[in-house]
Amino acid sequence: MLNLLRFNPRLCFLLGFLGCTFLLGMGAYFQFVDGLEPCPLCISQRIAIFATGLCFLVAAIHNPGEAGVKTYAVVGAAIALCGAAISTRHVWLQHLPPDKVPECGPGLEYMFQNFPLSATLKFMLSGTGDCAEVNWTLLGFSMPAWTLLAFLMLATLSIVQFWNVKKNEV
């Protein structure tokens, strides 16, 4: 049965890259067309989507053997799961009671210009009051919730490559 579902790993990695490209395109659409300004956690999630997509693109171009496919699968899944962790924090912040939401902070541009990189990265990954605001929903789920689902799907696509790769015959 599993043999019927086996695809070329190169094609799967390419599909993962195209999925990441779609996600980044949607983020750009919401920002530049709909006018939704991304919060620090949104930017962090975009970076994780970009990194996952880059891993998938390199894997698709490289078209490695069994060991390489497994290596790219682990790296891709690890990056996607890091993005899922960021999305989980974002969803958690959105579900906090209003009195527990952290205060809003300065913009990222200001942070990069006036604070050390370590402080800015901590700020980006911890989130602010801006991150608790829900500006968009689809089927009752916020954008970070959909992004969490996308990260979990990308991680699954990556891990499935362990069973998808053709074994070297001796």
Mean pLDDT per 10-residue segment, the chain (170 residues): 62 93 94 86 91 95 87 95 92 80 66 74 67 80 93 94 63
**Would you state the pLDDT for residue 125?**
67
**Would you state the pLDDT for residue 63?**
83
**Would you state the pLDDT for residue 137?**
76
User: 127: which residues sit within 8 A by CB, 6+ positions away?
Assistant: 39, 40, 41, 89, 90, 93, 102
Q: What is the pTM assigned to this prediction? A: 0.80
With respect to residue 153, please indicate whether it lies within any of the assigned structural domains.
Answer: yes
With respect to residue 28, please indicate whether it lies within any of the assigned structural domains.
Answer: yes
Longest dimension (CA), the chain: 64
**Would you state the pLDDT for residue 167?**
56
Any idea what DSSP says for residue 1? -
**CA–CA gap between residue 143 and residue 38 (Å, rounded):** 11
Domain that holds residue 150: 2-164
Any idea what DSSP says for residue 165? S
Q: Please choose, from the candidates 57, 83, 82, the residue with its C-alpha nearest in 3D space to the C-alpha of residue 72.
A: 57
**Would you state the pLDDT for residue 170?**
34
**Residue 107 CB coordination number (10 Å):** 13
**Would you state the pLDDT for residue 128?**
63
CATH number of the domain to which 82 belongs: 1.20.1550.10
**Would you state the pLDDT for residue 75?**
96
**Would you state the pLDDT for residue 78?**
96
With respect to residue 170, please indicate whether it lies within any of the assigned structural domains.
Answer: no
Our count of domains for the chain comes to 1
**CA–CA gap between residue 131 and residue 142 (Å, rounded):** 11
